[in-house]
Amino acid sequence: MKTKLILLFAILSNSIFAQSINDYAAVIVPTKFSFLSEENQYRLSTITKYNLEEAGFVGIYSNVNFADQYPNRCSVLNLDVVKDSGFLSTKLYIEFKDCFGKVIYTSEVGKSKEKDFGEAYKEALNNAFESVKKLGYKYNGNAGSGNVVAATPAVVKEQVMPVKQVVAAPVSTVAATVNEATLYAQPTDTGYQLIDKTPKVVMKLMKTGNPNSFIAIKGDVQGILTLRDNQWFFDSYQNGALVSEVIAVKF
C-alpha cells in the first residue's frame, strides 16, 4: 500500500511539473556553467541547447538579445546545469527557474563513470535530459503565467504611453511610474546594489542568465529589473496588480 502511494505521488508530481513548464515560451541557456572555467567548455552549452530543442523547447543562449522576440522576461525560463557530489561517478542535474528565481522543474540526476572529464560531463548531461524529454513539453500559450497579451495604456508623467507587455492575472492592472533620481550600481558577490546620492541602498540586484535582466528587491517588494527599449523597468506585483516603474540606472 505504501509503495502504491509513493508511486501515485511521483506520477502526480511529474504531471504538475509538466503542466507548469508548458506555460513558458522559451529557455535561456548560459554560455558558461558555474562548475566550468570557460564558456561552452566541453561544448556543454551547445549540448544543452541541442537537447532542449530535441525535447521541444526553444533554446536561447544568454549572450543573445531576445528582448524583441520575448519582451516579457517572465515568459521565458532560466536553465542551470548543477554538478552534484559524486565519488566514483560524475553527476549532473538540470534546473529550470522562472524570472523570480523560483525552481519550476528539476530533472533526474544524470550519471557517468567515464574518467575523462569532457566525456563524463557529456554523458551525465545527456542522461539528465532523458527525464526532461519525458515531460512531453509543448508551449500552451497560457496567459495566466508568462504569456504576452495585448498592450494596455499606462500613464507616465501625465502622458499616455503604450505598455508593450502585460502579464495577465486575475483582476490585475498595470501602473507605470518614473523614478527620476539616478541610481548608481555597485558590484556585489551576487550582482549589484543600487545607491542614490545620499548614498543609500535603494535596490539590490541578483544576476540571472540574461545580462539585461536581474532579480530585484526594493524594500519589501521583490520583482525583476529588465532593460527594454534602452530603459530599465522594475516590474513587481503590488496588491494583485503588475506595477512597472522606470528606473534610471548608471552601471
- Whether 71 has a pLDDT exceeding 60, the answer reads yes
Q: Give the contacts of 182 (CB within 8 A, at least 6 positions apart).
A: 248, 249, 250
Query: What confidence category does residue 175 fall into, taking pLDDT thresholds of 50, 70 and 90?
Result: very low
Going by C-alpha positions, the residue among 40, 113, 115 that lies closest to residue 81 is 40
- Mean per-residue pLDDT of the chain: 79
Query: What confidence category does residue 177 fall into, taking pLDDT thresholds of 50, 70 and 90?
Result: low
Phi, psi (degrees; rounded to nearest 5) at 33: -95, 155
Model-level pTM? 0.54
Would you state the pLDDT for residue 168?
41
Going by C-alpha positions, the residue among 83, 82, 100, 79 that lies closest to residue 31 is 79
How many helices (H) and strands (E) in the chain? 3, 15
**Are 216 and 183 within 8 A, CB to CB?**
no
Grid coordinates given for 24 = 513558458
Q: Per residue in 100-133, pLDDT tens?
A: 888 999 999 999 999 999 999 999 999 999 999 9
Query: Which carries the bigger pLDDT value, residue 57 or residue 175?
Result: 57
Q: Per residue in 188-222, pLDDT tens?
A: 888 899 988 888 899 999 998 788 899 999 988 99
- Whether 65 has a pLDDT exceeding 50, the answer reads yes
**Are 216 and 226 within 8 A, CB to CB?**
no
